[in-house]
Amino acid sequence: MDSALSDPHNGSAEAGGAANGTTRPPSTPEGIALAYGSLLLMALLPIFFGALRSVRCARGKNASDMPETITSRDAARFPIIASCTLLGLYLFFKIFSQEYINLLLSMYFFVLGILALSHTISPFMNKFFPASFPNRQYQLLFTQGSGENKEGGRGSPAPGSGLTRPLCPEIINYEFDAKDLVCLGLSSIVGVWYLLRKHWIANNLFGLAFSLNGVELLHLNNVSTGCILLGGLFIYDVFWVFGTNVMVTVAKSFEAPIKLVFPQDLLEKGLEADNFAMLGLGDIVIPGIFIALLLRFDISLKKNTHTYFYTSFAAYIFGLGLTIFIMHIFKHAQL
């Protein structure tokens, strides 16, 4: 689901007073500026570093890090699939108890968040391990077939037959080492923190990890595919954000790290602040994979300048900044 939403009034003074019967003091201009600036910075980081990592990912030979290529057909179908998913979630929240739905979603994103965060911090953590660290290699291999077919390895000669056994289709083939297990343990601490407290910092750590992994591992095959995807999602956003209240309702009801949040009352309440500005991960990942494509194109030209990458990155900064400004003026979620 593309959660293209920027709504700073989740729990604003007016909404909070109406719902809770109490009056929440309005956020200060300094607090609002800090929240908007932090959201802008958090949006830029996964795009920039995700684009750089997408270059290494495209050149890599590790099967566990192979990118997922988005074709023109995938791009054309994506807005339809996203619309069905969004509407389905909206109906679920209307029909069933929000508490139980969010409990299931929390468990689901708990597992995904740990894996995404572990993959994100692994390159940085490798610099802190001493040379003497016993870095054993492991492989998680899950194949289709009976034990007889797998005995002796894939494609190995059958004893006494002189023949080669058929290859067993691989379902999962993931290679990792002891350092990855350490990163997985550290990420699990964040996961438990998020599961128990739903703290906004833990939410943002998972959100940033999802965004960076999305930009790194989702690759467009060409510019025309990117234009189809962005054009289709533009229409999708116009309809669901301005034509209905579905997007805003789902985003506010959905207790999962699908959005980055930052409190506007941080200066007054510290880390326990609860008046959040938010930015959907779709506003980061979808433009990010297009910007990453342009970086890979720049590098393929074998020139010292990355004109297309820096131009598109600057355009994204301008567009997101303008969106936040208009959103603040008109007090309405923007696509």
Type and span of the H or E element at 120: helix 98-125
Tokens describing residue 82: 């996203």
Band the pLDDT of 264: cuts 50, 70, 90.
very high
Active site (annotated) includes residue 274: no
For the chain, the structural domain boundaries read: 29-130+173-330
107-131 pLDDT, tens digit per residue, is 999 999 999 999 999 988 888 888 7
Which of 7, 180, 265, 283 is catalytic? The answer is 283
Cβ count near 276 (within 10 Å):
23
Distances (CA, A) of 36 to 29, 57, 262: 11, 31, 8
19-33 pLDDT, tens digit per residue, is 344 456 677 889 999
Question: What number of H helices and E strands is found in the chain?
Answer: 12, 6
296-315 pLDDT, tens digit per residue, is 999 999 888 899 999 999 99
Distances (CA, A) of 90 to 110, 249, 277: 21, 7, 21
Active site (annotated) includes residue 65: no
Which of 180, 237, 265, 298 is catalytic? The answer is 237
More confident residue, 6 or 192: 192
